[in-house]
Structure formats: structure tokens, C-alpha cells
Structure 1
Amino acid sequence: MDMPVKMHQPEEGDVHLSSRKQPFNLLRWFSLISMAVIGTVAVALGSVSTRFVITESIQRDALLTSQFIQAIASAEVRHVAIPNVRTMGELLDPRKDKDFPEVDPMARANARGEFLDHIEHLPDVILANIYALDRMVIWSTNPALMGTTIHSDEDLDQAFSSKTPVSASYHDVDKSRMEQKFVTPPEYIFIENYIPLFDADGKNVTAMVEIYKEPKDLISRMERGLVLIWLATALGGGLIYLGLYWIVRRAAILLAAQQKQLITNETFVALGEMSSAVAHSLRNPLATIRSSAELALEFDNGAAHKNINDIIGQVDRMSKWVRELLQSLRPINDEAEPVNLVAALHDSLMAFEQQIAKASIHVVFEPKETPMVLSQQVQLTQILNSLLANALEAMARGGTLTITLEPTDSRGVCVVVSDTGKGMTEEQRSMAFRPFFTTKQGGLGVGLVLVKRIMERFGGAVALGSREGEGTSVRLSFKLMP
């Protein structure tokens, strides 16, 4: 259907409009800022959780290793009967063998050998060292380190001074540390544990056991835990972001719709005031002009007869514009009522029966149901008449007018009014619902505006589709009577 269109020609004063500051885009800024904040928080939480898991796992492994070694030392001492010897730490340094002349050298060697054999065959051990109080390596799984004195090792000094197990983890071998001379280099991460051995009173350190482990099962479990932590962090951050984005998007859409409605209402209020002023200013002069022209027409049958008729026609057209303008800007306050949609369509078709016949237009309308919709009888008739008038004007040389009823999923029904007229361009279609936009000569451009206002007033909607040279279809969506 051809819509009333009046193209706006840009003027010199309109050039600056394109350079105006763009309005604040709530959704865009929220997307960027929330993504940055949630991403930062997620990375921070993931990093803290990762560090916690690694530290706790290593500390737990170090504690178990310390308890196991100290338990072995106590068990081996109990298994041998050596007088005046109460702890394993007193047996490990060969240089002190002469301090116990009453001790059977064979018994002492057997006890020490059993303990060192247990140390050497601990699971996942890649290097084991035992230090005397002077920091000399008195035994090692790497024979090249035996007899070496370690002069500067903060972890070793801390273990001797604090008299508590000390644990540290590494990814790379520190070549500057003399004691990190592995026979089999570690593949990934390795753990260094210092386990002090005490005298019988439990106060003085008699020896220090250093264990380097690469617990592959623990590492595998940590890797799986870290993967789960980062997946959970990413998933949680993503869900929070999507949830907030959905809420803000709904709010942005609602705000945009309310802003648009507010602008529309303000526009209609201003236009209503203007139209009232125009109506009061023009009605009386137009009525006077028409009366004078009709009077002149009765007394003149000469050459001015045609001009007088033109005056009357133009006055009638201007009066029609004033009525349409007032009608389109009038507040719609009528309450919704059940209306027989099919009966209203039949009444509108009957009103245009002569025009349809004169233009040789074929009408296709075969309703199978008679739904009752929420609307208002007078205003529904006004909507249908406006759409049919546009369709018939678009098919001045004949065509097909098709009216179909289509049910919707949300307890509603759609009326589709289609014609085979000349259609509209994409630009005309996008501007069809703007006030005073028209493509018709002598049109005012308020027909579709009024249709849209009435449909939305009663909870419905209107959509327009058109292709140039193929025709136009208008879809009216109504709510069914509950």
C-alpha cells in the first residue's frame, strides 16, 4: 500500500546534525566495563585459588614425607639394641663412630644402612642428602655429593635454626646450588623437603635429611585441580557477565522504548497544540471561502465556473487535512472491548465496494473463524478503512487484495492485508510510520501513524513489509478476548 510520504530535503542548517555528540550507550559501556571488571576479578580469584592449591598440596606432601621419615628413624632405633644410643640422628655421622667405643660397629652400620636404604627407596625421590651439623653431606643418593660442605643455603639454615620441616617447590634446577646435582633431572616441578632429626630430648637437631621429590601423581592431581579451578572461574565469570548483560540489556531496551515513547508523546502534545491553533485559525476562513465560492457558483455560468469549482475542491481538501490532523493527535482513552474482527473486515470491504468494482480489483478473503479481539469498534473500523484505502490507491489499475487471518502462539491473531500495487522502496518502508511522511500527492502522512497508535493502545502491534514493484503487506497483531 502506498503510504503518505513527504521527503525532507536537507537544508544548510541541518549539516551540523551529523556532528552532534552521540547519546550515552548504556549497553556498550556496561559490556566493556563489566567484562573488564569481571575478567580481572576472575583472573585474581583463579590465581589465588591456584596458588592456594599448589601451596597446600606441597605442604601436605612435605608433612607426610617428614612424618614418614621420622617414623622410620624411630622404628629402626627400636629394632636394634645399642646401649647409650637413643635416636637415629646420633648414628648417621660416621665421624662420630669413635665417640661410642662401647657400640658394636656392625650393629651401628646395620641400623644406619637400614635407615638409609629406606630413604633411598622412598617413592618419587630423585635426590636425597643427609647433612651433619656442620652442613657437610654425610650421605647422598648421588655419591659425588658425599663429603661436600654447603656454606650458603637459606632453606637449610632456616631448617636448622627453626628446627621445623621446611618445604620449597621449583620448576627449574638452580645450577648455582651445589646440592641440586640430580642423577635423573626432574621433568616438571620438584619439591625440596628439609626434615630435621632430633636427639632423645627433642630439643637439639642432630642431622638434617634433604629430600628432592617429583611426585608425579600429586602433580597430575594438581594439574587436574587447576584445570577445574580455571574452568569453574571462567564459567562462573561468564555466567555472571551474561546474567548482568541480560538484565542491563532488558533495562536498556526498556529505557530506549520509554525514551522513544516520551519523545513521541511530547511531539504529539506539541503537534496537538499546533493543530488546535491551526484548526481554530483555518476553519472559519475556509468555511467563509467555501460559502462564498458556492454563492458565486450559483450566479456565474461563464468562464470562472471551473475556477470556482477548483476553489471549492481545494477548500474541501484543506478541511479534510485539518480533520485528519486533529483525529491523529487526539488522545486515545477508550477502553478495550471485544470486537468481531471478521465482521469489521466485511463492513470495511462493503464501504469500499464501489471503488473496488471500479478499479477491477480482485478480493481474496475467506475467513474460517470469527475471532473476538480486544479493540474498539470505531477505532478498529478507522484502522481497516485506512489500510484498505491505501491498498486500493496503490492498485489504481487493478490487482489483487488479499486478507488472511493467522493465529499466533501467544493467544492472539494476525490480520494480513496484502496488495499487488507498486510497493515501496526500502527507504520509504523504513520511514512509513513517521508522522507527515507521505508518498501520495495531496496526502498528509498520518494514516499509518494513527494505525500504529491505536494498535499499541490495545496491546497489539503493526508491521509493514513491501518490495518495490511487487506490493505491500501490513500485519496487524491483535489480542484475543480471554
Structure 2
Amino acid sequence: MQTLEHDVPDKASLPSSGLAAPLREFNLLRWFSLISLLIIASVAGGLGYVSTRFVVRDSVERDAMLTAQFIQAMAQAEVRHSQLPPGTTMGELLDPRLDSQHLQVSPALARSTRTEFLDHVEHLPDTLLANVYARDRTIVWSTNPQLIGKRISADGDLDHAFRSRKAVSASYHQAEDDREEQKFLREPRYLFIENYIPLFDSQGEQVLSMVEIYKEPQDLVRRIQRGYVLIWVSTLLGGALIYFGLFWIVRRAALLLHHQQDRLVASETYVALGEMSSAVAHSLRNPLANIRSSAELAQDIASEPARKNINDIISQVDRMSRWVRDLLVSLRPASDEVEAVDLVAAVEDTRLAFAQQIERHGVQFSFAGPALQWVASQPLQLTQILNSLFANALEAMPQGGHLRVEVRRLEGQRVQLLLSDTGKGMSQQQERMVFKPFFTTKQGGLGVGLALVKRIMERFGGSVSLHSREEEGTRVSLIFNIAAGGDHGAQHSGGRG
């Protein structure tokens, strides 16, 4: 099936419609895809990082607080159990170098009390290493005997713990080979928690000793790892849902904007053509009518050789008259009021109107569908559609062929009309441009036929599509809404030839 040719009028010949020169097209979907992906990925990554840090820090601090409370409770219990004089604390008994300096506590009692307390510290669960520091940062006891007696002089965390007087200072990290106090009896599998637990004097103001506990709580580590997985999976899924949700919305908006832009361009085109349509009608109609009348008068008195030329004049005048009529019909304001129209009867009327051309071109016509099918349209508009499609199909088959029309019901109160021919078809590029105004593949055509078909179908809630292959033919599909109250037509299939 041929379409109307690519007769694009010169821009200078069109009246100005008030539109400025188009700017460089902004690809909304592409820029949104890139920028939103970067923003959502950054926000999701930041939230995931903050959440994991909070979960780990909170878990570590909670475990450290429990450990500190246990150590301090044991220290007080051992002091009471040994019946030491009032005001005596475990902090002043942990340095064995000071056993002989206690005025009210014997060295043996200080040693036994210290031993009981340190035995509890040594058997704390999940402990990698336990150290006890005197005020001069000397390790006076350790679960690793090799560390006893060493003085740690360059440990910022230890100095901070002595100065801060906090109930516990906790941090989590991996082992560092350059720190001599981290000589574990076994290497940690993952991370470990380092706790500094100060033991104060009786007034609670001065730190007398510092208990350092290195722990690898297996249950806590597993909970932290599960928290990591849960937070990051939730963050990734949430970010992906937000991104694809917004992408879908913006994609719909971009398609809508593109559709509205196309409609705006088409409207501006029709406005420009409307401004010159009256000039075309006044300038061409009367001269063409005069030319045709004069040619008909001359035909009666002309010789036989001249009649052929006169017939050519008349046919070309009729052709130009059809151009003017098609142009005016395509630009005429149309009502959107829907009527119930018998599609099958409209097809039959169109076939009868083109019967001579069908016979002259040697085209075989066939019809398949119900005997009656009401659709939502307007009689004149539907006739215009079918006339354009039949005319294109016949012009595509000058040497004969097969023109087939099929009407069938679809789901959702829709009806499809398929019109196919076995003509010369068109290329893929022509197929993409076929519904553009003023695009045509026919020499001498105006290029408004299929554009008008698309415009009418969309006005009544329908659609049109076209598929074509070169030298194989063209198939046009029209989708109509079933007219209200017009759903009782006969549904048997039939054929006409």
C-alpha cells in the first residue's frame, strides 16, 4: 500500500505560527537515569554506612558496659568477701609492688584478694587477652605472662582511658602487630573489642588501676554480621525500588511530553495550513472549474488526436481538485461527538465506490467478518478513513493483486479492522515516517491521507498501526471501540469477492 508522497512545503511559504526556532532537544529520561542513579546510590550508601556504624557501635558499647559492670561488681564482691577495712578498693590492691605499703592490709591478704579477683577476670568468656595496668602504665598482671612487667609508654587509648575517668572505654578493630600489649594467646578470627575498665579510689575521683580486656564475643560478631547483611540488602533493595519507581514515573512523563510535543507540532502545522487553506480554495477552485468547463466544451469540437490531450487536461484538473478537497477536509474542524456506525456496511459502501477501480486494476477483493458490527466513530470520518486506505492499496497494485479486509472482535470491547494488500510495500524508513503529515511515497501526492487517518482514529479513542515489507505488501490495523448499544450484531463470518 502506498502512502502519500514526501511533499514538505518550504518553510518560507508557511505563515508564521509564533514558534521560535527549536532548541537542542533535552533528553529527560537519559539525564534522570544518570543523575537520579548517582543521587540515590550516594544517599543509599551513606544511609547504609551510617546505619552499620550505629549498629556496630551501639552493640560494642552495650557489650562493653556489661563487661565493665561485671568487673566492677566482682571487685566490690571480693573486697567485701575478704573483709578489708572500709575505704579499701580493689584498684589499690592490683599492683603487687605496693603490697608492703598498705597500712591496714597485710601483704598476704592483699595477695589472696587480688588472686581471687584476677582468677575471675582470667576466666571471662570470649577473652583473648586481659591486662592490668598500674598508674605508671606498667603491666602488673596479664593472661600472657610474657607481658608482665612491661611498661606501655606510647598508647593514646590507654592514656585517654586514665584521663577520662569513664566507666568503660570501648573500641573495635583488628590486631596491630606494632602494639606490644596485643600479644594474644590466639589470633582473633574477625574483629575484637578492646575494653578499658578503670578501678577508682574510694572517692571515685582517681584511677588507681586499669583493667584491659580484649574480647572476641562470637555471638556478638555473628549478630553484627547479620546486621551488616540485613542493612545493606535493605538499603540496596530500597534504593532500587525508589530508583525504578521514579524511573517509571519519569518515563511515563517523558512519553507523555513527547506525545504532547508531537501533537503540538501537528496542531501548529494544521494551524499554518488552515491560514492558507482559504487562499488555496479561492485561488484554485474557480480557475480549475473554468479550465475543466473550457476543456469539456473544447472536447466536443476537437479532433480525435486533440481529444486525448483534452482528456489529460480534464484528468489532471480533477486530480488537482481532489488535492484541494482532501486538504480542506483534513483541516476542517471536526466534532468529537461519537456515533454508532456499522463498520461492515461502511466497508461495503467503500468497496462499491471503488468497484470500477478494483476491476480496472485487476484486483481481487475479499472480506471476512460479521454481517454487522457497530463501532464508535462518525459516518463521514469513517468513510474518509476507508477511502484513503482503499485508494492507497489500489495505487500500490497497478498490475493487480489481492485486497483483503477482515473485521474481528477483540477483548475489552474492541474491534479490529485489518486491511492488507499485495502491493509493492515500503521500506522500514518509510514505514516509520508514514503517519507524519506531508510524508508520502507517491509522486504528486499531498501527504495528508494517513496522517488524517491517525488523527481521526485517535479522536474517537482508537488507534492505527501499519506493517509493510518491500515487494510483499502492506497491512494496516485499525482498532475501534464498540459503540454503546451496538453489541448485538451478527457474529458469523462471511466473505465477499
Paired position in structure 1 for 2:286: 284
Deviation at 1:270, TM superposition (A): 0.9
Match of 2:421 in 1: 419
- The correspondence for 1:173, drawn from 173, 176, 186, is 176
Seen in structure 2, the aligned counterparts of structure 1 residues 422 and 410 have a Cα distance that, compared at 3 Å, is same
State the shift of 1:213 in Å: 1.3
Matched position secondary structure for 1:365: strand
Aligned mates of 1:273, 1:358 — CA distance in 2? 39
Q: Which amino acid aligns with 1:463?
A: S
* Aligned match of 1:367: 369
Deviations 1:227-255 (A, max 9, x none): 21111111111111112111111111111
Aligned to 2:492: none
Contact between 2:48 and 2:235, CA under 8 Å: does it hold in 1? yes
Q: What is the distance in 1 between the residues matched to 2:327 and 2:105?
A: 121
For residue 433 of structure 2, the aligned residue among 431, 434, 451 is 431
Given residue 168 of structure 1, which amino acid in structure 2 is its aligned partner?
S
Once the two structures are overlaid, the 10-residue window that deviates more, 319-328 or 163-172, is 163-172
Indicate conservation of the 8 Å contact 2:3/2:434, yes or no: yes
Is the contact made by 2:100 and 2:106 (CA closer than 8 Å) also made in structure 1?
A: no
- Aligned counterparts, 1:200-349, within 5 A: 200-301=202-303, 303-349=305-351
Aligned to 2:79: 77
Question: Residue in 1 aligned with 2:487?
Answer: none
Please report how far the alpha carbon of residue 188 of structure 1 lies from its aligned counterpart in structure 2 after TM superposition: 2.5
CA distance in 2, matches of 1:334, 1:162: 83
Structure 1 residues 252 and 462: CA distance shift in structure 2, 3 A? same
How many angstroms does 1:359 deviate by? 4.0
Relative to 1, partners in 2 of residues 1:8 and 1:332: Cα closer, same or farther, differing over 3 Å?
Answer: closer
Aligned to 1:148: 150
Corresponding residue for 1:402? 404
Partner of 1:193: 195
CA contact under 8 A between 1:429 and 1:466: conserved in structure 2? yes
In structure 2, how many angstroms separate the alpha carbons of the residues matched to 1:354 and 1:228?
A: 77
Cα contact 2:374–2:482 (8 A) shared by 1: yes
The offset of 1:328, in angstroms, is: 1.7
How many residue pairs get aligned? The number is: 472
Check whether the contact 2:343–2:372 (CA below 8 A) recurs between aligned residues: yes
Give 1:354 deviation, angstroms. Answer: 3.7
SS at match of 1:304: helix
**Contact 2:336 2:460 (8 Å CA) reproduced:** no
Alignment counterpart, residue 39 of structure 1, candidates 26, 38, 41? 41
Question: Residues of 2 paired with 1:371 and 1:66: CA distance?
Answer: 87
Q: Which residue of 2 aligns with 1:16?
A: none
Change (3 A) 1:259 1:47: same
Q: Over residues 341-365 of structure 1, what are the superposed CA-to-partner deviations in whole Å (9 max), with x where a residue is unaligned?
A: 2222222223233433444433332
Paired amino acid for 2:73: A
Q: Deviations over 1:24-47 (max 9, x none)?
A: 111111111111111111111112
Change in 2 beyond 3 A, CA 1:83/1:62: same
Other structure's SS at 1:92 match = coil
List runs of 5+ in structure 1 lacking aligned partners. 11-19
**In the TM superposition, what whole-angstrom CA distance separates every residue of 1:414-442 from its partner, at most 9, and x where no partner exists?**
11111122222222222222233333344
Single out whichever of 93-102 and 307-316 deviates more from structure 2. Answer: 93-102
Return the match for 1:134 from 120, 124, 136: 136
1:471 is aligned, of 470, 473, 477, to: 473
Residue 355 (structure 1) aligns with:
357
Whole-Å Cα distance in 1 between the matches of residues 104 and 462 of structure 2?
Answer: 108
User: Structure 1 length as normaliser, TM-score?
Assistant: 0.91
Task: Report if the CA contact (8 A) 1:5-1:432 is conserved.
Answer: no
Equivalent-residue separation in structure 2 for 1:28 and 1:426 (angstroms)? 26
Partner of 1:5: 5
1:155 counterpart SS class: helix
CA, structure 1 residues 320+277, in 2 after alignment: closer, same or farther (shift >3 Å)? same
Contact 1:361-1:401 within 8 A present in 2 as well: yes
Q: Distance in 2 between matches of 1:111 and 1:152?
A: 31
Moved more, 409-418 or 346-355: 346-355
Cα deviation for residue 6 of structure 1 reads: 3.6
Structure 1 contact 348–384 (Cα < 8 Å) conserved: yes
Q: In the TM superposition, what is the alpha-carbon distance from 1:290 to its structure 2 partner?
A: 2.1
Q: Gaps (5+ residues) in structure 2? A: 11-21, 485-497
Task: Select between 425-434 and 353-362 the one with higher mean Cα deviation.
Answer: 353-362
Q: Is the 8 A contact 2:138 2:151 kept in 1?
A: yes
Q: Is the CA contact 1:423–1:467 (under 8 Å) kept in the aligned structure 2?
A: yes
Structure 1's 287 and 356: CA in aligned 2 closer, same or farther, altered over 3 A? Answer: closer
Structure 1 residue matching 2:368: 3-state secondary structure = coil
Q: CA deviation at 1:73?
A: 1.4
Measure the CA separation in 1 of the matches of 2:49 and 2:331.
62
CA gap 1:455/1:470 in 2 versus in 1, 3 angstroms: same
Measure how far apart 1:104 and its partner are.
Answer: 5.7
Q: Which moved more, 1:358-367 or 1:456-465?
A: 358-367
Structure 1, residues 27-84: CA drift from partner, whole Å, max 9, x if none?
Answer: 1111111111111111111121122122212111111110111111122223333445
Contact 2:198 2:210 in 1 (8 A): yes
Counterpart Cα distance in 1 of 2:240 and 2:103: 73
Q: Name the aligned partner's letter for residue 55 of structure 2.
A: V
